[in-house]
Amino acid sequence: MDKVFGSATEALDGLLRDGMFIAAGGFGLCGIPELLLNAIREAGTKDLTFASNNAGVDDFGIGILLQTRQVRKMISSYVGENAEFMRQYLSGELELEFNPQGTLAERMRAGGCGIPGFYTKTGVGTLVAEGKEHKEFDGETYILERGLVADLSIVKAWKADDTGNLMFRKTARNFNPPAAMCGKVCVAEVEEIVPRGALDPDTIHLPGIYVHRLIQGAHEKRIEQRTTRPAA
């Protein structure tokens, strides 16, 4: 099976449709699938639901799809740094399902492992728990969270071989592995595709069994928050 495609547009060909559910890796602007997000914008696919830690910033990441009104719902942990996200949510234009970060990561991982649901203490007694099943274990109350299974996963990695084995660089790993796992189809963009056998098996963070399509490209890698101080 040839997993390597020439561009993000080619890799997404035949996969996109209006109203679909997409899981996206990344945290802030770190490790986001920027090339694939640009290709989705260009395709004009709309009425999308995204599961992602956040929605980038106003003009980068998922934020570019908010600008073009292609996103109907966000399943997220954090909405700061994106004024358009907040504006659309507060005006009722965008549906939002808040998730604690650990819960969101586990919902993705569970979906990828075929686990339909799990119990967690996180969110008990808050708005997060409303409408969810409560159950006691050893005298403690837990709520039931459902695993997530997306129509499509888009992720960003550092290196890959042509079979789709992925390596992530440092904190850019973040939500990418669980996001990749929970998609019925996963498309990954990477900075470098190396020959088969070049990756040390002990350094592979995500096995290629989860990755269906793969592209190599140049990435902008914006810095979300830059803090500097005068030289001494």
Model pLDDT for residues 73-114, shown as the tens digit of each residue: 999 998 777 889 989 999 999 999 999 999 999 999 999 999
- In the three-class reduction of DSSP (H, G, I as helix; E, B as strand; rest coil), residue 58 is classed as coil
Domain at 8-118+147-216: CATH code: 3.40.1080.10
pLDDT digits (tens, 9 = 90+) for 37-64: 999 999 999 999 999 999 988 889 999 9
Q: Which amino acid is at 130?
A: E
The model carries a pTM of 0.94
| Residue pair 208/164 in contact by the 8 Å Cβ criterion | yes
**Order of strands, sheet of 134-137, starting from the edge strand that comes earlier in the sequence:** 117-120, 140-146, 134-137
> What are the domain boundaries of the chain?
8-118+147-216
